[in-house]
Each structure stands twice: as C-alpha cells, then as structure tokens.
Amino acid sequence: MVKILHTADIHLREYKDERWEALEQLVEIGKRNEVDIFTICGDLFDKDVDAENLRPKIREVFSNIPFKVLIIPGNHDADSYKGGMYFGEDVFILTGSPFEYGDVRIVGVPFEPIQGQNLLGKIRALKETLTLDKKNVLLCHGELLDVFFSRADFGAEGEERYMPFKLSYFEGLNIDYVLAGHFHSRFDVWQLKDGGYFAYSGSPVSITKRETGQRKVNLFEVGNSPTEYPLDTFNYQEITIELDPFRDEDVLRVVQERFENLHPRASAILTVKGYVNSEKIQMTEQDIVSQIKGITKGKCAEEHYELSDISRILENDLFKSFTNKVKQGDYTEEEKRQLQDTAIKAMMQAGL
C-alpha cells in the first residue's frame, strides 16, 4: 500500500529558522513512518529569491531519503522552479507529466493566476490523464469556494483570489484524492461526489499569528481516508482568561495552570479580560498585570489586558439591590452572569 505524507505552505525564508526546522521534522516523520511519497502542494518558499538562496541546503535535506518528494509551485513561489532547477535526485517538480508510483498516478496543477471557466477547463482537461487503471491523486494550490473562509485563513493574501475552485470541478474525473495547499489555518477534509477526498493539510508551522493551535500534516495510505498527524513545530496558541469577581478563584493560579499546559513549541497570544475586586483579593490592576507578566515572561507573542477593577461598583447599594433580585429570579447561572455583566457595564458608563 502506497503511503503519502501531504503538506503545503511552509514558506521557507531562512536557513535553520522555525520554518526550516519544520521541514526537517517532516522529513524525519516521513522516514519514521516509511512513507513512499512526500507531497508539498505549493509555497515551499516564501519568495522566489528564497528558493534561489536556499536551494543548496534543500538538496542536503532531500538527499539520501527513502521516499520521493513531489512539489508543485504555489502563488508565492510560482517562478522558483523554472529552467530545470535541481533540488535533489528524488525531488520531482510536477508542472507537466504525471508521476507514477506502482498503481498510483499523481498529477500536479501548479498555481496560475486563472479562475472561472479557464480554471474549470484546465481541470476538466485532465479527464484523459486520470484513467481507471490507476489510483489518481491530484495536487493543487488554491481556494475552495464551497466552504466559507475568511481571508486570514489563507495567510496575508489581501482580497485577491488565488485559483478559486469548487468541488464540482472534479466530478467525473476518477479522482481518488485532491491534495491541496493555500489554506493555512487547519487540516480539513471534504468528500468528493464520486467518492474521493479533497484535503487541506494546513500549514505545518504557524506563518502568521492567525494560524493558531498545534500544526498538523496529512499522513495516509492510498485507499484510506486522509488522516491528520500532529506536529511538534512552532505555533501560536490563543489563551483567553476571563476574570469573574463572583467566583472564588486564584487569578494567578489560573494563569499558571494555563501556561503549564502550553505546547512546548507554542508562543501564546494572551488576553486577560473581565472584572476584579481589588478590595477582596488585595491586588490592584497593576499588581495583577505585573504578576501575570512574571508568570508568562518569554512565552507570549502578544499580551492584551482588558481587565477592570469594579470593587467600587460591588459595594454600591444599587448594585447590591439589583444582584439580590437577580439571585431570587428564575434565571439560569449563565443568564445571571449576563445580567450582572450588563449592570456592571451600565454603572461603569454612568461613572457610579
């Protein structure tokens, strides 16, 4: 059974940085899992000049490997492979003829600035290539229009669309797998109408701060469904801590516990919000922020502090009367919290 490791959007820029380390980890995963084929579905490089600078080192990474590496150009590195550039003996740039491995045929659809009927025609023209005598795998780099994505899901690409296609484009083509790149945020899979799969691997390392959570790749055997494989690569992780003066909790312990569970390669995007009763906990807003910073030092990419001391409001007779009525009312705990929050905001705006 042919085993494939599928990734995209590594965006290499520098030798031995976090992105480079991610590529090296992927090669080691391929070796450990005895894969036959490693596919990189676009944007191996961040820019064409990066491909020129890093190509000698890429050859080293891809030397003496027990599998084949198949690469297609993406929108960031569309010109990085022109002129028959050599990336290694076992590296194949799929811009033309299909690659065959046993009973598997792999076809590349490199990125081009086309869409609509032009793109549909290009994909439909593959009908004669994707024949019934093989398991057919299509590599592509672009946007799937069937599912709503924010622009942030594709990296920092602005409002321009990049080879936008629909699942219907692949109907009737005897495609077993469409392995795609360009969607950074997460691993995701859709079923094709004719029974195959469309899969985005997501970026194997966080490229922007919008790509949060442990990164993954797609590792599967041909004949089975695409399967996510978690990585120990650099990533951003969102941590939101909401303070509630009505809960008996140690704010600093909550922060400590959340950061103890932080992935070892993660950099946190921390948001601390909500309300505190400084009289009760004997700490000012500044004290809290200072002590949190001591716990999180060196572990955050961003820190946002949106907490407010409401000790004065909590001692206000009007607020006490309101909360007593809320407690006596027929409300769920969530509704009670929402009513208290509304009252706090109203009193803060009124300067009470």
Task: Convert the pLDDT of each residue in 186-206 to its tens digit.
Answer: 999 999 998 999 999 999 999
74-84 per-position pLDDT tens digit: 999 999 998 77
Residue 55 carries which side chain, given as an amino acid letter?
R
282-297 per-position pLDDT tens digit: 888 999 999 999 999 9
Residue 239 contacts residue 207 (beta carbons within 8 Å): no
Query: CA triplet 84, 87, 92: central angle to 5 degrees?
Result: 70
Superfamily covering domain 3-230: Metallo-dependent phosphatases (3.60.21.10)
Residue 137 contacts residue 104 (beta carbons within 8 Å): yes
Band (92; pLDDT cuts 50, 70, 90): very high
Q: Residue 336 phi/psi, 5° resolution?
A: -65, -45
Average pLDDT, the chain: 91
104 Rama class: left (phi>0) / alpha (psi -120 to 50) / beta: beta
Cα 233 to chain center, whole Å?
12
* Strand pairing class (37-41; 3-7): parallel
Which residues are within 8 A (CB) of 246 and not within 5 positions of it... i.e. 6 or more apart? 337, 340
Q: What is the pLDDT of residue 138?
A: 97
Can you read off the two tokens belonging to residue 292? 């949190």
Sign of the Cα pseudo-torsion (324, 327, 331, 334, in order)? positive
Which of the pair, 249 or 123, is modelled with greater confidence?
A: 123
Q: Which residue has the tokens 């797609």?
A: 218
Q: Dihedral, CA atoms, 241, 244, 245, 251, nearest 10 degrees?
A: -30
What average pLDDT does range 293-317 have in this prediction? Answer: 90
Residue 203 contacts residue 215 (beta carbons within 8 Å): yes
Can you read off the two tokens belonging to residue 2? 């042919």
**pLDDT(222) > 90:** yes
Which residues are within 8 A (CB) of 313 and not within 5 positions of it... i.e. 6 or more apart? 319, 344, 347, 348, 352
**pLDDT(309) > 90:** no
pLDDT over 90 percentage in the chain: 70
Which of the pair, 342 or 93, is modelled with greater confidence?
A: 93
Sign of the Cα pseudo-torsion (173, 178, 181, 187, in order)? positive
Q: What is the pLDDT of residue 148?
A: 61
**Among 83, 36, 90, which residue's Cα sits nearest to residue 62?**
90
**Among 126, 113, 54, which residue's Cα sits nearest to residue 78?**
113
Which of the pair, 249 or 172, is modelled with greater confidence?
A: 172
> 3-class SS at 241?
strand
**pLDDT(149) > 80:** no
Band (173; pLDDT cuts 50, 70, 90): very high
Q: What is the pLDDT of residue 164?
A: 93
**pLDDT(244) > 90:** no
How many whole angstroms separate alpha carbon 17 and alpha carbon 28?
17
Q: What is the pLDDT of residue 96?
A: 85
Q: What is the pLDDT of residue 246?
A: 78
What average pLDDT does range 20-24 have in this prediction? Answer: 98
Q: 251: exposed, middle or buried (C-beta count within 10 Å: 0-12, 13-18, 19+)?
A: buried
What average pLDDT does range 93-105 have in this prediction? Answer: 94
CB atoms near residue 224 (< 10 Å)? 10
Q: Which residue ranges does the chain devote to CATH 3.60.21.10? A: 3-230
**Most trustworthy range by pLDDT among 34-43, 89-98, 126-135:** 34-43
**pLDDT(225) > 80:** yes
**Bridge partners of residue 289, in order along the sequence:** none
**Bridge partners of residue 66, in order along the sequence:** none
Q: What is the pLDDT of residue 328?
A: 83
Residue 50 carries which side chain, given as an amino acid letter?
D
**pLDDT(20) > 90:** yes
Q: Residue 57 phi/psi, 5° resolution?
A: -75, -35
